[in-house]
């Protein structure tokens, strides 16, 4: 399995089921996808080895632990050579505040999803990026006031 993975309807069912409940037992997963446990387990291991399943984690509502500010930031780089993109991406990969980073086509180069303590922390973070060697020309930040929907990537129908 690679970028164009050869998967069938059972594999899709396994992936979709695990997206909904990654803590299922092997037996419950097998029942949910209408397979016996051993073949289901073999398929699951194959999907993991192929990199289609990249991990298992809990979705935590951090706001119930501590107040946080979530900010979506549009980033435009000063220059647009391959090395400029690589340099920016290397910087954001090291920063724990960056919970998501997407390269875009069009008028904006990147969108970042930041989770920080407060707006002051956000501004200090951006000042560090601007003062550093990240190559940012301009940015626009948008404070998230409410999460309406937050799910895993949907698995398309085949």
Residue 158 confidence (pLDDT) above 70: no
* Residues 91-99: contacts with CB under 8 Å, at least 24 apart: 91/129, 91/132, 91/133, 91/134, 92/134, 95/125, 97/121, 97/125
Taking residues 48-74, report their average pLDDT: 91
From residue 35, how far is each of 10, 16, 134, 150 by CA, in Å?
8, 15, 50, 30
Write down the pLDDT at residue 5: 67
Section 122-148 average pLDDT: 95
pLDDT single digits (tens) 2-37: 456 688 999 999 999 999 899 999 999 999 999 999
- Please, are residues 77 and 88 in contact by the beta-carbon 8 Å criterion? yes
3-state secondary structure of 58: coil
- Mean pLDDT in residue range 96-112: 95
pLDDT, tens digit (0-9, with 9 covering 90-100), for 30-48: 999 999 999 999 999 999 9
């Amino acid at each position: 399995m690679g970028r164009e993975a050869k998967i069938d309807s059972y594999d899709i069912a396994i992936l979709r089921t695990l997206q909904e409940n990654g803590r299922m037992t092997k037996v419950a997963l097998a029942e949910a996808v209408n397979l016996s446990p051993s073949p289901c387990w073999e398929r699951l291991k194959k999907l993991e080895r192929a990199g289609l399943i990249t991990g298992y984690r809990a979705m935590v509502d951090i706001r119930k632990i501590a107040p946080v500010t979530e900010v979506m930031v549009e980033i435009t780089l000063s220059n647009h050579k391959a090395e400029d993109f690589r340099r920016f991406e290397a910087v954001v990969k090291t920063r724990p505040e960056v919970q998501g980073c997407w390269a875009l086509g069009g008028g904006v180069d990147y969108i970042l999803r930041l989770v920080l303590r407060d707006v002051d922390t956000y501004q200090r973070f951006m000042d560090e990026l601007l003062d550093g060697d990240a190559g940012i020309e301009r940015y626009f930040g948008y404070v998230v006031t409410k999460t309406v929907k937050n799910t895993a990537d949907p698995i398309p129908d085949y």
